[in-house]
Every structure is written in C-alpha cells, then in structure tokens.
A and B are shown apart, each in its own frame.
Chain A
C-alpha cells in the first residue's frame, strides 16, 4: 500500500475484483452473426473494445476506492510560532468561592463594602475561570496544561494545544464548592515536575491563580527554587485579594508573619522571573491576565495538527469523468456500428 494513505473503510477494498467484470462479461450488444470467422479482422474495433473495457474497469475501481474513503491520515507538523508553555495552577480551596469587590466599589464607603462583598460582586473562582478561559481562547499558539490544587494537586490536562480540552478542564473546576485545605508548596513542586523530560521548546510559565499564601518550609523553598531554575520557568502569581486581606507589598518585618506576604517575598527572592498581580476586582484580574499575555511572546516550537485529508471526492470525480467518457464512446461506437 502507498505510504501515507489510509482508508476509513478498508474492508470495502475487497470489492476491487469487481473491476474485472468488464473483462469477464461479453458484450450484450453483440450482433448475431453466424459466421464470425468470415468477418474481416478488425484491429481498430478490437482496440476500441479493449479501451472501453479498460475504462469500465477503471470506473469500477475508482468507485470502490472512493467508497473505501481513502485519505492522508492526520499528521502533526512542527512549526515555530510565538507563544509559551503555560501551566495553569488554580486554587480550588473553599475561600475561592468567596466574592471579589463589586465593580462599583470605588463609590462605596468602607462600611458598605464590608457588608456588600458578601452578597454582591463576582465570585473569585468564577471570574478567574471566565478570564482564563477567554485567555486560552485568544492564544491558539500556546500550549496549556491545567491543574487544580487543594491539599493534593489535581493535574487534569497535561500540556496540549487542543483548546477544547483545556476549556473542559477549566469548566470542570466550576462544578461545586472548593475543597477544604491548600498546600501551595506541594502544588508548585509537582507542577514544576510536569516540565521534567519535556524538551525545552520556548518560554515556560507557571501561572498560579490563588487567593492565599503559605509559609513554606526550607526544604520546599529549596525544591521550588532549584526546580524553577533547572527548567527555566517563569512564575506568575495572580493573587485574588479578598476584602480586608493584606497587600502583597506590605512593608515591615512583622508582615513576614502574614502567609501571603511571606510567599510573595519568597517568590521575589527567586533568581527566575517572577511577576505578581494583585487583583481585587474582576477588572484588576482582567488587566493582570492581559499583561501576562503581553509578557510572553517568544518563539515557541509548536505542533500543528493537520487534519485528515479525504481523497474520496477525487475518486468520485474521476468516476464521473470515466462514466461520461464511456457514455460518449459507447454512443460513438454503437453509432458507427448501426
């Protein structure tokens, strides 16, 4: 079989011997003539008969092949585009079910905000998912992986370029409330491990989306630092700041005790690139996501999926031409004989 061609219904190729029919069947339109041997030899007529049979055989063969649905199988081509490998690491803890500031929060008094954030304003995890979803949709050249974390890390979608799968992973995160605990240190270490044995093909990012911090122990810090450095991964943290939660850049020694601030300071001390985006409202969040999109546009080798190409229509067209030809030739011949 020709390399690079496959059939969707290969079993139908068993019908190919039908193409022998024109050679087996004798002409039905033969003229009754008792003394064939007396007729002068007719090389032209013989040649015409062979031609008609050959065309008939080709016609049957092309229809059988068309039915077997030939085509070039789906293939993958490596191209260089602009983009990044982005590991989405999304907090699925219970606090992510809380609300962000409502869009008109600037017009409200602190007292009103305190009361209204419980009833108004978008839910953190929901707006994060919506924005990430449109972020993914706008960046077809990037490769995404989706993971959620709580006490354990749930790696849902490994690196893929198939937008729909990434979206299905993000959408699944919206079903029902979050889990109780979070372990951001473990989640980061196991997300870094996702780059193990992956050939370096361009810019790499872990995009952490979380509303809380953690004071990491020394071993965890070392593992994160070494891992990010080894795999050359940039870390982006979209910090969904709840009302009355601390600012990441809160100064002073004492604020080291605040988990969010401690985590931010550790990240900032890393030798690898780090950006923090503090988002209090969904507008902040949108701006942060947009900025991440602007930052990372470096050459990236990516695989483009070339869908299966069907050649069936070409064979149908060939069949149509052959049938037309036979029709025309048959009339000519019969006309000549009449």
Chain B
C-alpha cells in the first residue's frame, strides 16, 4: 500500500464507523427550573421598557424567560407556576425545552393577572409554597421566582418563618427581583382585566407605623427578597435584561448532569475530513512556505527542500 492511499483508507473506515454507530449516552449539563411568576397587582407596574415602550414587570419577566429558554441546552426542563394570595400554584409540570419550546411559550403567554384567584400578596409564603411545589413535582427542579417582593398586607419584621417541612437549601434556585427600586403607583385592575386607575393610600392595607403610609406605592423591595433568599438558601439576582437572567440561570451550580442520547457521528466524519484534506493541505502549505510555484519537477523541489533546512 502506498502512503497516498492511507488517508483514504482511514477515511473509508471512519465513515463506515459513522454510519454504523448508534447514538451514545453521554452525560451532559442541563438545567431544570420551575419558573414561578408573581401575578399580583404590583407586578402590573410598568417600570421596565421593552422595544422602547413601557412594559409591566410581569411582561418584562415573561419576555426575559422567553428569551432565556432557547439558550438552555436541550434536555433541560422547565415548568411554570403562578403566585398570588399566599400560594404558588403549579400550572405546568416541567417539560423539555427544545421539543416543547412553542408549547412553553403558549402557556407562558396566558400566565397573567387574569389567573389571579385572590388579591393578597404574601410573597414569603409564596416562595415557601413554591419550594414545596418544586419538591413535590418530582425530579426536584430549581426554583426561579420572579417577584417585586411587595407584601400585601405588609409584614412586620422578618415575616413568616420557613415552613417546617422544608430545610434551608433543600431546593436550589434563584429569586429574581423584578422592578425598579423607585416606588411607583400600582395600576388597579378589576377581575375582568379592565383598568381602573391606580390604587390610592386609603384603599390598601398600610403598616402599623402611621408615618409610613406608602403601601400603595410599589418599588422593588430588594432587601426583603435578599433576606428571603438567605432564609431559604436560594440565590438572588435582579432582573435587568434577558442576557443577565440567562447567565444567572446557567450558573454551573444550578446545573445537573444527565445521561442524554447524543449523536456523536460528527466525530468520525470530522476525522475523515481531516484525513482526506491533510495530505493536500500539507502539500499546499509546503509549496507556499517554499515560495516556489508548485511543480512536478523533482529536482527543483529537492533543492528547495535542502535550502529550506538552512533556515531556522
């Protein structure tokens, strides 16, 4: 066998292997999340901007998740839940993001204030219930809790303690602080979804301190959410844009490795390509390095080779 035939023979073998090999199981990193959206009225405050227009906290959070989903590796699973009153209610058990991307978007599209089954907003309990939901749905997805931290009625002190049946850090994940730090009036929406102006100071439950009657205004209550995160063992991140959310979600600490069938056919094909190209590529490179036109004249070539060896 001549050396010329060797790369071709190698390529034949590799290509035959590529055609014959089954998909292999490969452990790969993926991310499972239960995304919970606060759908209480304060999430209707439009203190974000989307495409140059004011956007509500809820719309912005949904858009950020929409953009983050395709950036999760295939095999990742995402479920959806809504928080209002004192509970996070599971809406969709986690499903695989690549295959069901459009279905996830369709469900996300409907997740809004019209689902609100009651009007209170006990965020701490909402987070605890969300932890329970993540624990009970199976496979323990990480939590992704979008909220502005606005408690209504207001809490005194730290608020309710973590439920006894959950330990701190049992479920990992993130609280995603949604909204601007500067307080804004809260749009009032009736059960049928019609806008009814904004909430006034007399219409909402105020705190015990008569000098601090500001519960009708809502800004991102970051210290409260950070405290909540510390108490539950979750991480905290402020929602600024989709890229930031994606980066926070793709934290290796939140990843899980999973055996996924992986098509590795490209490997032998790439090697075959390299084997086929290499002799010709080497020839071209050699000819260029010698700054001589490629030639069939062996004598010149040999001379070029000897002269090349004097150069460093």
On A, residues with C-beta under 8 Å from B are 15, 18, 21-22, 24-34, 36, 56, 59-60, 63-64, 66-67, 69, 150-158, 160, 162, 164-165, 167-169, 171-173, 175-176, 179-181, 312-313, 316-317, 319-320, 323-324, 326-327, 330-331, 334
- Render B212-234 as a binary contact track against A, CB cut-off 8 A, 1 for contact: 00000000000000000000000
Q: Bound complex: CA of A316 vs CA of B19, how far in Å?
A: 7
Question: What's the least CB distance linking B89 to chain A, in Å?
Answer: 7
Contact between B79 and A168 (Cβ–Cβ < 8 Å)?
yes
Contact between A63 and B296 (Cβ–Cβ < 8 Å)?
no
Pick the residue among A27, A66, A320 that contacts B296 (CB under 8 A).
Answer: A27
Pick the residue among A18, A29, A171, A175 that contacts B4 (CB under 8 A).
Answer: A29
Please indicate the chain A residues that have their CB under 8 angstroms from the CB of B299 in the complex: 32, 34
Contact between A26 and B82 (Cβ–Cβ < 8 Å)?
no
Contact between B106 and A158 (Cβ–Cβ < 8 Å)?
yes
Contact between B273 and A64 (Cβ–Cβ < 8 Å)?
yes
Please indicate the chain B residues that have their CB under 8 angstroms from the CB of A319 in the complex: 11, 15, 269, 272
Contact between A313 and B117 (Cβ–Cβ < 8 Å)?
no
**Lowest 7 A-B CB distances belong to which pairs?**
A32-B298, A25-B280, A25-B283, A21-B280, A175-B90, A320-B15, A30-B296
Check: B94 CB closer than 8 A to any chain A CB.
Answer: yes
Contact between A171 and B93 (Cβ–Cβ < 8 Å)?
yes
- Contacts A/B (CB < 8 Å), 11 sampled: A15-B273, A25-B279, A31-B298, A158-B110, A176-B132, A313-B19, A317-B19, A319-B272, A320-B12, A323-B8, A331-B5
Q: Bound complex: CA of A136 vs CA of B12, how far in Å?
A: 48
Pick the residue among A18, A26, A165, A313 that contacts B287 (CB under 8 A).
Answer: A26
Check: B129 CB closer than 8 A to any chain A CB.
Answer: yes
Question: What's the least CB distance linking A280 to chain B, in Å?
Answer: 28
Question: What's the least CB distance linking B244 to chain A, in Å?
Answer: 26
Question: What's the least CB distance linking B13 to chain A, in Å?
Answer: 9
**Residue among A63, A151, A162 with max Cβ neighbours from chain B (10 Å):** A63
Check: B304 CB closer than 8 A to any chain A CB.
Answer: no
Closest B residue to A319 using CB positions: B15
Contact between B95 and A323 (Cβ–Cβ < 8 Å)?
no
Q: Bound complex: CA of A164 vs CA of B284, how far in Å?
A: 54
Please indicate the chain B residues that have their CB under 8 angstroms from the CB of A66 in the complex: 269
Other 15 A-B pairs with CB < 8 A, given A28-B279, A151-B117, A168-B79? A25-B281, A26-B294, A28-B4, A63-B272, A165-B92, A167-B93, A169-B91, A172-B90, A176-B89, A176-B129, A313-B265, A317-B19, A326-B8, A327-B5, A327-B8
Please indicate the chain B residues that have their CB under 8 angstroms from the CB of A175 in the complex: 89-90, 93, 133, 136-137
Please indicate the chain A residues that have their CB under 8 angstroms from the CB of B107 in the complex: 156-158, 165, 169
Closest A residue to B271 using CB positions: A63
Contact between B269 and A33 (Cβ–Cβ < 8 Å)?
no
Q: Bound complex: CA of A171 vs CA of B114, how far in Å?
A: 22
Check: B195 CB closer than 8 A to any chain A CB.
Answer: no
Closest A residue to B138 using CB positions: A171
The size of the chain B interface, using a CB distance under 8 A, is: 61
Please indicate the chain A residues that have their CB under 8 angstroms from the CB of B2 in the complex: 29, 330, 334
Question: What's the least CB distance linking B78 to chain A, in Å?
Answer: 10
Contact between A168 and B94 (Cβ–Cβ < 8 Å)?
yes
- Render B277-304 as a binary contact track against A, CB cut-off 8 A, 1 for contact: 1011101100100000011111100000
Question: What's the least CB distance linking B21 to chain A, in Å?
Answer: 11
Please indicate the chain A residues that have their CB under 8 angstroms from the CB of B114 in the complex: 152-153
Please indicate the chain A residues that have their CB under 8 angstroms from the CB of B5 in the complex: 327, 330-331
Q: Bound complex: CA of A286 vs CA of B92, how far in Å?
A: 24
Q: Bound complex: CA of A172 vs CA of B81, how far in Å?
A: 9
Please indicate the chain A residues that have their CB under 8 angstroms from the CB of B168 in the complex: none
Question: What's the least CB distance linking A336 to chain B, in Å?
Answer: 13
Please indicate the chain A residues that have their CB under 8 angstroms from the CB of B79 in the complex: 168, 172
Given A67-B269, A171-B93: A60 in contact with B277 (beta carbons within 8 A): yes
Q: Bound complex: CA of A155 vs CA of B91, how far in Å?
A: 9
Contact between B4 and A330 (Cβ–Cβ < 8 Å)?
yes
Check: B161 CB closer than 8 A to any chain A CB.
Answer: no
**Residue among B277, B287, B294 with max Cβ neighbours from chain A (10 Å):** B277
Contact between B265 and A312 (Cβ–Cβ < 8 Å)?
yes
Please indicate the chain A residues that have their CB under 8 angstroms from the CB of B81 in the complex: 172
Please indicate the chain B residues that have their CB under 8 angstroms from the CB of A327 in the complex: 5, 8-9, 12
Q: Bound complex: CA of A59 vs CA of B10, how far in Å?
A: 14
Closest A residue to B106 using CB positions: A158
Q: Bound complex: CA of A294 vs CA of B243, how far in Å?
A: 50
